[in-house]
Structure 1
């Protein structure tokens, strides 16, 4: 008999995850694959697992939150930030635009000298500052 065996007629697999072989050699064998479960990869830790009594250098509180009351390193004082090139150029523009007969070329030259800008950058800064302030 070469009749196919349906899934209901196949013998059940054992706990060892090896497929059972039917007695008829002419039938095809279906293999089952088992996915790895968390218990297969390692032991599960539960409340019965002992906790180490050795203190650690961790400064977290009992709830896993950082303990804000304990400071191990003193905070450095914040240094005032250096003015940006835009702030320097803005101050130059305000100062020089108050003077009469100041040209764009003279203000751009001051940007290059004082704010350490390139000629192209100084020209761009001039346009941006002029549009913002005027």
Structure 2
């Protein structure tokens, strides 16, 4: 098994610089590069992008920009718990209001199931008294 290998049996190294991958892969890569835009090389300058804070106020709270962004956002829709809590507070102030009537209002206004409305009633009662 330990036979000597002569130089004629060794594979010859070539200096051929052809790609090892099939031509279709190269074509696909060129298609992607063309679709994404030109490929930038090291000599292409990178454009500078101005930052939001150009005044040099590091460490300071920038309230002007963030408050305007917050003002533009839509307020979040109320959760079912918030709606049910409002119903509970409104109805518990009335005299002779029963648990059953409040639970029925939870089903109608907060769009809860009967079991969910009953659970919400207990949670809200424990929390608000």
TM-score, structure 1 normalization: 0.48
Q: Gapped runs of 5+ residues in structure 2?
A: 1-40, 55-68
Moved over 4 A (4+): none
Q: Would you say 1:55 and 2:39 are equivalent positions?
A: no
For 1:109, which of 90, 94, 104 is the aligned residue?
A: 104
Larger radius of gyration, structure 1 or 2?
A: 1
Q: Would you say 1:83 and 2:74 are equivalent positions?
A: no
Residue in 2 that maps onto 1:68: 52
TM-score, structure 2 normalization: 0.50
Q: CA RMSD in A?
A: 2.5
- Cα deviations across residues 69-115 of structure 1 (Å, max 9, x unaligned)? 48xxxx68211111111110000000100111111100000000000
* CA distance in 1 between partners of 2:103 and 2:121 (Å): 7
Q: Gapped runs of 5+ residues in structure 1?
A: 1-49, 62-66
Matched pairs, number: 74
